[in-house]
Structure 1
Amino acid sequence: MLPVFRLSDGPVPLLAFHGIGQDHRVFEPLARALEGRYAVYAFDLFFHGAHPPTVTDDALTKTAYQQHIQDFLHQYRLERFAVVGFSMGGRFALATAEAFASQLEELILLAPDGITISPWYHLATHTRPGRWLFRYLLKHMPLLHRFGQFFIAIGLINRSVLKFAESTLATAEQRKQVYDSWVYFQKLQFDHRVLSALLNQHPLRIRFFAGYFDQVLPVSFLEPLTRGLQAYELTVLKTGHNRLIEKVAKLL
C-alpha cells in the first residue's frame, strides 16, 4: 500500500496526491487550513518520500493502482471521501475518481497533470527511441538546455517551462526520480469523454484551481475534461505553478 500520513482531522476524509519531486509534507499548509473540516490523508507516491512503495512492474496499471487505494480504504474503514491532486498528483486524483466515482464526495484539482498530455511526455515515455533519448538528455544537461533555448526561440515552449524543468532536474537524484516516475506513470491516461460522463452521473462537487501565470500546466490544459462536465467550479489565482498549493490554502 502507498505510504499515507494523516495531517488533519475532520468529518470528510480527503485523499491528497502531491506533484513531482515532492512528498506528503507539501500538503501541510492546506491541512492546517482545512483542520476541523477535512481529515487530510496525504500519500507519498512511487519514487517519492522517505520510504516509497516497492515497484514490481515496468509501468503502473490502473488496476494495480486501484488495489492500492482499495487496501487503504479497507484499512482505514472509509466509505465516502474527497480527493485532491496537485500537478503530477492530478493523474492519481483522476485515477481515484475514475475507479471510485460512486464513493466520491468532492474532486479538487490544482493545476492537474493527466488531462492535456504533452507531446514531449508522450515521446519520452511511450517509445523505446524516445526513452533512450530522454535518458541521454538527462545525462547531458547542457545539451538539454540548448534544445530548450532552441524551442523557446521558435515558440514551442515558454521560458518559464524551461526554468521549471531545469529546477526539477537539478541533481542526478532528481533526474532519476523524474525519469522513473514519468515512465512508470505512463499508463495513467484517461478518455475524457468517458471520464466526464462518469463524473456527471454522480452528485459530487468538482473544483479546479489554476495559476494565472502558470505556463507549466496552464488553465487551458483543463479544457479536454471541463467541456464534458455538466457542473464544475474554476478558480484562477494570480500565481505561478509552484506556489499554487500555498495560495489555495490561504484562499480556503
Structure 2
Amino acid sequence: MLPVFKLSDGPVPLLAFHGIGQDHRVFEPLARALEGRYAVYAFDLFFHGAQPVAIPDGVLTKQTYAHFIRAFLHKHQIERFALIGYSMGGRFALATAEAFPEQTDELILLAPDGITVSPWYKLATGSGLGRWLFRYFLKHMPLFHRLGQFLISLRLINRSVLRFAETTLATAEQRELVYNAWIGFRHLRFNLQKLSGLFNQRFMRIRFFAGHFDQVLPVSLLNPLTRRLQSYELTVLKTGHNRLIEKVARLL
C-alpha cells in the first residue's frame, strides 16, 4: 500500500498526486483552501516520502498500479472520487481515471506530465543503451551540465529547463530518486485517442491549470489531449512551473 495522508475533510474524496522530488506535504496549502469541500487524500508516490515504497519488479505496470488504488478505495470505503495531479503526478491521475472511469467524477491536472512525451524521456528510458547513458550522465554531473549548455546553444532546450533539471538533481539522493522514477514509471503511458474516448463517454469534469511562464511543461503540451476532448476547462496562470500548486490553491 502506498503511504497516503488525509489533509482535509469534505464530502468529495480528492486523490492527490505530487511531482517528482516532492511528497504529500506539497498539497497542504491546497487542502487548507479546500477544507469543507474536499477530503484531500495525498499520496507519497513510489520512491518518495519519509518511508519510500519500492516498485515490485522495479517497473510499475498499469495493472499493478490499479491494484494499489483498488486496495486504497476498499480500505477507505470510497466509491466515487475526484483526482488532482501535478507535473509527474499527472501520469498517476490519468492512470487512475483510465482504470476507474466510472468512479471518477472530476479530473484536475496541473501542468501534467504524460500527455506529450518528451523525446529526451524516450531517449533516456526507451532502451537499455538509453538507460545506461542516463545513469552515466547522472553520475557525471559536470558532463551533464556541459551537455545541457550545448543543447541550449542548439536551441534544443530552454535555459530554464536545464536550471530546473540541475535543481532536481542537486544531490546524490535526488539523482537516485529521479533515475528510479523515470525508469520505474516508463510504462505509465497513454493512447490519447482511447483515453479521450473514455473521458468523452463520461460526465467527468476535466480541468487543466498551466503556467504562462512554465518552460518545463508548457501549456502547448496539453494540445494532443485537449483537441480530442469534447469538454474541458483550461486556466493559464501568470506563474512558472514550481509555484503552480500555490497559485491554484489561492484561486480555488
Asked whether the two chains share a fold, i.e. TM above 0.5, the reply is yes
How far 1:15 moved relative to its partner? 0.1
- Structure 1: runs of 5 or more not aligned: none
Residue 44 of structure 1 corresponds to which residue in structure 2?
Answer: 44
Q: Residue 170 in 1 paired to residue 170 in 2?
A: yes
Residue 83 of structure 1 corresponds to which residue in structure 2?
Answer: 83
Moved over 3 A (4+): none
Residue 246 of structure 1 corresponds to which residue in structure 2?
Answer: 246
Distance 1:28 1:161, change over 3 A: same
1:101 is paired with a residue of what secondary structure?
coil
Residue 158 of structure 1 corresponds to which residue in structure 2?
Answer: 158
Aligned-partner residue type, residue 241 of structure 2: H
Residue 33 of structure 2 corresponds to which residue in structure 1?
Answer: 33
- Structure 2: runs of 5 or more not aligned: none
Residue 64 of structure 2 corresponds to which residue in structure 1?
Answer: 64
Equivalent positions of 1:1-252 (< 5 A) are 1-252=1-252
Return 108-117 or 52-61, whichever deviates more: 52-61
| Cα distance in 2 for residues equivalent to 1:55 and 1:204 | 30
Aligned-partner residue type, residue 132 of structure 2: W
| TM superposition score normalised by structure 2 | 0.99
Deviations 1:104-145 (A, max 9, x none): 110000000000000100111110110110011001101110
| Cα distance in 1 for residues equivalent to 2:52 and 2:176 | 14
| Cα distance in 1 for residues equivalent to 2:73 and 2:56 | 22
Aligned-partner residue type, residue 90 of structure 2: G
| Cα distance in 2 for residues equivalent to 1:41 and 1:29 | 13
| Cα distance in 1 for residues equivalent to 2:69 and 2:136 | 35
| Cα distance in 2 for residues equivalent to 1:126 and 1:105 | 33
**What is the aligned-residue identity percentage?**
74
| Cα distance in 2 for residues equivalent to 1:189 and 1:54 | 20
How far 1:195 moved relative to its partner? 0.2
How far 1:54 moved relative to its partner? 3.3
Deviations 1:82-113 (A, max 9, x none): 00000000000000000001101100000000
Deviations 1:35-75 (A, max 9, x none): 00000000000000011223221310000000000000000
| TM superposition score normalised by structure 1 | 0.99
1:193 is paired with a residue of what secondary structure?
helix
Aligned-partner residue type, residue 124 of structure 1: A
Deviations 1:203-244 (A, max 9, x none): 010000000000000000001110110000000000000000
The alignment of Structure 1 onto Structure 2 pairs a total of residues equal to 252
| Cα distance in 2 for residues equivalent to 1:62 and 1:103 | 17
